[in-house]
Chain A
């Protein structure tokens, strides 16, 4: 054996971690590394399951002290009201500082122009609001909840993803990440997006939520909702979406698999009323999270890669 002393004393099989424990340990390590090596980090919170997991991991990394960074929500103004309510309750429980960067403000200030028509979405506008907020507050690192299993372009993104002054990502100029030695050095004006749950899958996230008994916004569980069908997906009937002729809202039992804007996040038909039921539905689904529920990624095969280059999350 390579470690005779240890092997004689200890049975290594008694010192194994479950896959969630290994993932958690890695993510907590990354949180602490960023807190130690960068000056002004911020945690980007969307209200969705991935950012809920990020907040729990931050608690694991820093409690009983407070987080060494604020939390920021880029609010499009088209969020589900249930999610905003959930956000405020969670922030209150955590006792941490929340910054809200508002897309409406960016529109009012003329930084971006609202899209028009039945397919209008504020999804693209968020990027400007985010970059403006990062510059205004002088953040040099932003934690995000992206996972590499979400999409093929993400599979190649590093844990630490460097952005130039324009927030752009250059896939050919990524730094190698060796062992657990992260290099967070940046120049003035640059910032780094850090993805502590890069190695988690959608199923890992749900299993962790169940294992940790984390609260999630109610829209993740099956609920009755007025919806209409468009492009093969079910969308919430809301004041933010103009219907196209022939689209007729009806009531259905649905849940959401991702949390985004009401304008571009699709619902799935479901009767899963508990987290356990949601997990078993997710485990047996045959369609990806983005394919099933995100209109923004369906446009072209390389949609995600293009938006990332522009500075999207």
Chain B
């Protein structure tokens, strides 16, 4: 059985439990806030004083019940309007795992937030109202989960209490969505019938849906295997910072600090340095000035090399047999996040791993019609639109295709006049 704490917090054992980051999405009123409130409440992540605040607010608003959705309404503007307007992060833990929820609002105009929440997620929870079935929003959420390559998708069919816990209602939604997602590339989809309000199949197995043979949501979140989702095959180590201590004892000391983006590094491993193309070996791996024997994603470590080379921030240490492409031209999917549209000929700053360059939009190949999953010609991408572009860069970027590595395959575009982050990009091809 699932094992959240029976009283007080569950303390994950500090050295062994994993972290699962998941994003939640749903149309307004599908019950997302209630679901998150339920997860936090039933896993005892809610404190008494928070609960009391919610009880007071519920009463003042005349909700007539303890409105768990209020637990997650952060800003005053939202509390007044009763809606969620921005990505919020929530935390809870059980004995098995610690969870970070990126709670993203589901209005169409907030694709930008959904993409932001999805970019770091291992798993996505999408809500569907059992009475309404699959909506345009649901399809959009599933598409974004696949575009951002979140490896695990959980579809919670909510408000099952309002359809009499009917198996056929659930099955119809499963079937419709399964047909549609077959056209997307989603490695793992799970459907769970729930009632967020009553708690059916959220933390505890529902007694009203004996026909459902699967696990409740929390059990699934605690047990889904995420380790194989990381790329352990090809070494990718973007150099973030060069450590050069002063003082005689460190006379020849020079180490490259960064976060491992792919592969398993070991002392003795051969690496290729890009963009210079020089080869060398890892002499030592260190963390906090202590030697360690392996480094893998997503560890932040420092690397010392066997040869003295001229390496700086923005360079990358990579697998010699299987390097990324040092590319000046990129084909990429872009999600646009600014009121000022993207259009061919425009220039932006591009940040990719630890390297920043300039990029010019050579061509807008098409815009994605998320509902039909089709392409349409376009001369601009407006806020919240997704399209495919060709970019030309002022300096080579060491890219992989996004489907191969989410870190070395992603980038952001920055408007150099406003300094705003205006686009999220995923590499599909490079030259």
Contact = CB atoms under 8 A, between A and B. Distances in A.
Interface of A: 1-3, 5-7, 9-10, 12-13, 15-26, 28-29, 32-33, 35-36, 59-66, 148-149, 152-153, 155-156, 171-172, 174-181, 183, 185-187, 198-199, 201, 203-204, 207-208, 210-211, 279-280, 283-288, 291-292, 301-302, 305
A199 B89 contact: yes
B47 A287 contact: yes
Contact of B49 (A35, A208, A288): A288
Interface stretch (B198-206, B243-251, B277-285, B360-368): B243-251
B75 interface: yes
A199 B257 CA distance: 22
A201 B412 CA distance: 28
Contact of B259 (A25, A62, A155): A25
Contact of A179 (B8, B289, B410): B410
Interface string B45-76: 00111100100010000000000000011111
B243 A62 contact: yes
Chain B CB count within 10 A is highest, among A22, A23, A207, for: A22
Contact of B50 (A18, A65, A176, A291): A291
B89 A18 contact: no
3 A-B pairs with the lowest CB-CB distances in the bound complex, closest first: A6-B233, A291-B49, A284-B8
B16 interface: yes
Interface residues of B, number: 87
Given A12-B232, A25-B300, A32 B12 contact: no
Given A61-B300, A64-B243, A19 B12 contact: yes
A178 B228 contact: no
Given A175-B420, A291-B50, A305 B76 contact: yes
A175 B424 CA distance: 12
Interface string B152-193: 000000000000000000000000000000000001000000
Given A203-B9, A203-B11, 13 more contacts: A6-B234, A15-B230, A18-B16, A62-B241, A62-B243, A63-B288, A66-B246, A148-B91, A171-B77, A179-B120, A183-B420, A284-B9, A286-B8
23 contacts: A15-B232, A15-B297, A19-B18, A22-B298, A36-B313, A61-B257, A65-B250, A152-B75, A155-B89, A171-B75, A172-B77, A174-B86, A176-B113, A176-B424, A177-B421, A203-B9, A210-B14, A211-B14, A280-B11, A283-B8, A283-B11, A288-B49, A305-B76
Given A201-B91, A288-B47, A185 B419 contact: yes
A6 B253 CA distance: 32
B260 to A, nearest CB: 9
Contacts of A155: 72, 74, 88-90
A183 to B, nearest CB: 5
A24 B49 contact: no
B232 A198 contact: no
Contacts of A283: 8-9, 11
Nearest to A148: B89
B17 interface: yes
Contacts of B98: 19, 201, 204
